[in-house]
């Protein structure tokens, strides 16, 4: 049984300056101030905005994460950010393997694995993103791709690490301005496959890892998605980048999530 909290958050990608991030977070914190303890709300800003973001929000209300991280603590890695540097900011999480990292920056499953291990060993929650491409889907190898990303990406982790692991299912063809949102029943099937794979890897704790859906989540599909038994949360892009729109989306989804819990429908 995964957490009883609705996991919902956003990656701000490369869109907001320091000032814009702080004002977004301040607004989001104020707007969502009355929402209760069953919400696990997180925001993942750009590196440059992290110190100011970290100072601006109450991290018990909004968790903060980094969009990427090198696995080494220090070294000849120009342009990279290490886990020790992120520890100075007291972040809760690190996003690893977003499709833009995998595709624009050619990150491999082996590299994602080193990052996941390093993030967990340094006390962060590792949010590993997985998802099949449009070609994988066409060729009917989407399930194999997901299994591979999970089996390689999580290689070497133990049951005890599950407490610091989240997975985001983000089909590449569903992400961004040109993305086509996945149907909620399709997403649910993939979430079940991810859960099955997690249970193969971690028979005792695999059921505790939250699995979030991401890829063109918007006010029209968010409730359908969160109704699905195997979907534990939402990882939102564009529809969350205005604090008031994100607040409205959360308020739309939270009662549906509570109903699902009340009916015992968790996957
Ligand atoms: P989107 O982004 O909601 O704008 O499609 C999702 C993501 O990249 O995580």
Q: What is the pLDDT of residues 10-21, one digit of tens each?
A: 999 999 999 999
pTM: 0.96
CB of 212 sitting under 6 A from ligand 1: no
Question: What local confidence, expressed as pLDDT, does residue 2 receive?
Answer: 59
What gap in Å lies between CA 51 and CA 166, rounded to an integer?
24
Residue 180 domain-assigned? Answer: yes
Token pair for 103: 């595709």
- Structural contact between residues 1 and 207, judged by C-beta atoms closer than 8 angstroms: yes
Structural domain for 163, as ranges: 6-263
Q: Return the residue whose CA atom lies nearest to atom 3 of ligand 1.
A: 237
What gap in Å lies between CA 33 and CA 54, rounded to an integer?
17
Domains in the chain, number: 1
User: Does residue 265 register a pLDDT over 90?
Assistant: no
Question: What local confidence, expressed as pLDDT, does residue 267 receive?
Answer: 61
Question: What local confidence, expressed as pLDDT, does residue 28 receive?
Answer: 98
What gap in Å lies between CA 184 and CA 216, rounded to an integer?
12
Question: Which ligand 1 atom is nearest residue 181's CA?
Answer: 5
75 Cα to the center of ligand 1, angstroms: 32
Question: What local confidence, expressed as pLDDT, does residue 191 receive?
Answer: 98
CB of 247 sitting under 6 A from ligand 1: no
Question: What local confidence, expressed as pLDDT, does residue 89 receive?
Answer: 94
The band of 51, judged by pLDDT with boundaries at 50, 70 and 90, is very high
The band of 7, judged by pLDDT with boundaries at 50, 70 and 90, is very high
Residue 133 domain-assigned? Answer: yes
Taking phi over 0 as left and psi of -120 to 50 as alpha, with beta for the rest, 97 belongs to left
Token pair for 184: 């909620």
Token pair for 42: 């997180």
Question: What local confidence, expressed as pLDDT, does residue 154 receive?
Answer: 98
Q: If we measure between CA atoms, which residue out of 92, 22, 90 comes closest to residue 53?
A: 22
34-38, 202-206, 214-218: lowest mean pLDDT where? 34-38
The band of 54, judged by pLDDT with boundaries at 50, 70 and 90, is very high
Residue 29 domain-assigned? Answer: yes
176 Cα to the center of ligand 1, angstroms: 5
Q: What are φ and ψ of residue 90, in 5° steps? A: 55, 45
The residues, ordered by sequence, that sit 6+ positions from 187 with a Cβ below 8 Å of its Cβ are 169, 171, 213, 225, 228, 231
The whole-number average pLDDT for the span 241-252 is 98
* pLDDT, tens digit (0-9, with 9 covering 90-100), for 143-169: 999 999 999 999 999 999 999 999 999
Residue 55 domain-assigned? Answer: yes
Q: What is the mean pLDDT of the chain?
A: 96
Q: What are the helix and strand counts (H, E) for the chain?
A: 10, 8
CB of 217 sitting under 6 A from ligand 1: yes
CB of 67 sitting under 6 A from ligand 1: no
CB of 68 sitting under 6 A from ligand 1: no
Domain of residue 105, CATH code: 3.20.20.70
Question: What local confidence, expressed as pLDDT, does residue 264 receive?
Answer: 80
177 Cα to the center of ligand 1, angstroms: 8
User: Does residue 3 register a pLDDT over 70?
Assistant: no
Residue 241 domain-assigned? Answer: yes
Residue 1 domain-assigned? Answer: no
The whole-number average pLDDT for the span 54-77 is 96
6 Cα to the center of ligand 1, angstroms: 18
- Looking at the annotation, which residues are catalytic? 98, 170
Question: What local confidence, expressed as pLDDT, does residue 263 receive?
Answer: 87
Question: Which ligand 1 atom is nearest residue 129's CA?
Answer: 9
């Amino acid at each position: 049984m995964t957490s009883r909290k609705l996991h919902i958050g956003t990656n701000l990608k490369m869109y907001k300056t320091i000032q814009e991030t702080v004002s977004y977070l301040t607004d989001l914190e104020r707007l969502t101030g009355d929402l209760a303890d069953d919400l696990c709300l997180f925001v993942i800003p750009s590196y440059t905005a992290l110190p100011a973001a970290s100072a601006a929000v109450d991290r018990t209300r909004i968790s903060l994460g980094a969009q990427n991280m090198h696995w080494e603590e220090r070294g000849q890695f120009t342009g990279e950010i290490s886990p020790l540097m992120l520890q100075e900011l007291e972040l809760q999480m690190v996003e690893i393997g977003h499709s833009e990292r995998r595709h624009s920056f050619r990150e491999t499953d082996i590299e994602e694995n080193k990052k996941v291990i390093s993030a967990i060993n340094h006390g962060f929650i590792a949010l590993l993103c997985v998802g099949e491409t449009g070609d994988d889907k066409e060729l009917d190898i989407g399930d194999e791709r997901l299994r591979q990303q999970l089996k390689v990406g999580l290689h070497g982790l133990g049951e005890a690490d599950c407490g610091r692991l989240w997975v985001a299912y983000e089909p590449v063809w569903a992400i961004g301005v040109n993305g086509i949102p996945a149907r909620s029943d399709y997403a649910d099937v993939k979430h079940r496959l991810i859960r099955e794979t997690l249970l193969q890897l971690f028979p005792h704790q695999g059921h505790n890892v939250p699995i979030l859906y991401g890829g063109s989540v918007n006010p029209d599909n968010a409730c359908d998605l969160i109704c699905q038994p195997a979907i534990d949360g939402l990882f939102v892009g564009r529809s969350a980048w205005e604090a008031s729109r994100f607040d409205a989306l959360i308020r739309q989804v939270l009662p549906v999530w509570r109903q699902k819990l009340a009916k015992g429908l968790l996957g």
